[in-house]
Amino acid sequence: MKIKKLYINTIGCQMNVYDSEQIAERLHRIGYVTETRVEEADLVIINTCSIREKAEQKAFSFLGRLAKMKRDKPRLIVGVCGCVAQQEGQKIIERMPHIDFVLGTQAIDRLPAAIERIEKHPCRIVDVDMSQVIQESADISAPPKPHEVSRFVTIMRGCDNFCTYCVVPYVRGREMSRDPEKIISEIKSLVVNGIREITLLGQNVNSYGQKQDLCDFPTLLKQINDIDGLFRLRFTTSHPKDLSDDLIDTFQSVEKLCYHIHLPVQSGSNDVLARMNRRYTREKYLEKVIRLRETCPEIAITSDIIVGFPGETRADFEQTKALIERVEFDSLFAFIYSDRPSAPSGRFKGKVTEKEKKQRLQEVFDLQAHITQKIHSGMKGTVQEVLVEGYSKKQVDENRSRAPEAVQWTGRTTGNKIVNFVQGDSCIDKSVEVGKMVHVRIEKTFPHSLWGSVVTCDPGHSLAKGEESYAA
């Protein structure tokens, strides 16, 4: 039987990365193998994102390039999944004659049947039905690849918050949490197969379980913490309005939970926050930051900022900068506001010019670069616990010929900072390996990473909570 090759292009957030893994797993079951070269593929799928205009443009430009491939190879099957598929549906098929199928965000389980139909009798399919029920197939997660240590697991889908700039509630549907038992069995099977770090995904993990009367999020974290063989647990994203004291306390009580929270603030101006429908004020946000730091002084806090929201004045923007300076985020994702189909803010008055938006974005980047540099410099000389993920990027090929003590490795701290490091000569009897915990002394710092040498590489030795970093 001819091997059928699948190429997936994933655009967007970690949730899309998770969905692409789900798509691949389902298609492996009907005989497809994953291919990394698009020109070799029999089936090309683009898993799209429509959160910002730029991501959507990227998706359409890739789809446009596939038209020639389809002319040269008529049996090629081309499909669109994800948020743009959900948003545009039938219009994509009408606009692009080379597309065979468009499947929405809640149709992943129906994908294999759609492909088999097209393979048997070439036809064009649009399925953007939002069933409201999360399909839970047995054995849902794809087995980890060799040397993979970290995985995302989606615990909820959709969103009920309706921030006025955001397309998610329209393209991903209402918030639905997955059954905790299914989540735990998925994580257990990943851990048995070598995964050591799990990041739980949801648009607002803080409200996990509430709508369907399942367990709450802190309880879910505690249950996952008990899984043997799991070293680290992370989650994203937290909506500030729902960040409860109970959840903040888990940074002390849940041993495997990493000291990092992504807490998108979006703006430092109360006027803008109200028009965004974020349902917190800058004062409330700052209170949560203080509570987090009182509970866990080492916690790394990262955030999202939107610049140029309709009606954002220079004074509003200055308040955002003042908040960034006050909190001193570890890092930031800053975005230029774009109108999105269905999102109400598209109709708001007071549009900010593109030139001004770019200027504000640059100011945020410059300010944050300065803060990150200060935080990184303060880490020089500390010892950090690092989960080894693999060879450092620049060294992948060179490493084969290096002596063990000179091989360059990469991993992350509990605060999610990238550390590149060498084994050095401090642990001659034991060696660094992917999936092990090591302690690294930070010797140099860079804007986006840290550099150091291993001081302990004993996988059994883990520092107690609260003393994972100490000055040398």
- Residues near ligand SF4 (CB under 6 A) are 159, 161-163, 166, 168-169, 203-204, 239
Residue 337 interacts with ligand SAM (CB under 6 A): yes or no: yes
CB 14 within 8 A of CB 201: yes
Selected binder of ligand SAM within 11, 13, 66, 258 (CB under 6 A):
13
Residue 169 binds which one of ligand SAM, ligand SF4, none, with CB within 5 to 8 A depending on kind? ligand SF4
Residue 235 binds which one of ligand SF4, ligand SAM, none, with CB within 5 to 8 A depending on kind? none
Q: In terms of CB distance, is 218 or 240 closer to ligand SF4?
A: 240
Residue 337 binds which one of ligand SF4, ligand SAM, none, with CB within 5 to 8 A depending on kind? ligand SAM
Residue 372 interacts with ligand SAM (CB under 6 A): yes or no: no
CB 422 within 8 A of CB 454: yes
Task: Identify which of 327, 434, 360, 339 has the alpha carbon closest to the alpha carbon of residue 391.
Answer: 434
Residue 445 binds which one of ligand SF4, ligand SAM, none, with CB within 5 to 8 A depending on kind? none
Phi, psi of 95 (to 5 degrees): -80, -30
Q: In terms of CB distance, is 118 or 274 closer to ligand SAM?
A: 274
Of 174-182, 183-191, 334-342, 376-384, which segment contacts ligand SAM by CB under 6 A? 334-342
Residue 288 binds which one of ligand SAM, ligand SF4, none, with CB within 5 to 8 A depending on kind? none
Size of the site for ligand SAM (CB under 6 A): 19
Residue 335 interacts with ligand SAM (CB under 6 A): yes or no: yes
Residue 306 interacts with ligand SAM (CB under 6 A): yes or no: yes
Residue 304 binds which one of ligand SF4, ligand SAM, none, with CB within 5 to 8 A depending on kind? ligand SAM
Return the C-alpha torsion angle 120, 121, 125, 129, nearest 10: -50
Q: In terms of CB distance, is 187 or 205 closer to ligand SF4?
A: 205
Residue 340 binds which one of ligand SF4, ligand SAM, none, with CB within 5 to 8 A depending on kind? ligand SAM
- Taking CB under 6 A as the rule, which mask of x and - marks residues 173-202 in contact with ligand SAM? ------------------------------
Q: In terms of CB distance, is 162 or 333 closer to ligand SF4?
A: 162
Binders of ligand SAM among 49-78, rule CB under 6 A? Answer: 51-52
Interface contacts to ligand SAM, rule CB under 6 A: 13, 51-52, 165-166, 168, 203-204, 237, 239, 264, 266, 304, 306, 335, 337-338, 340, 343
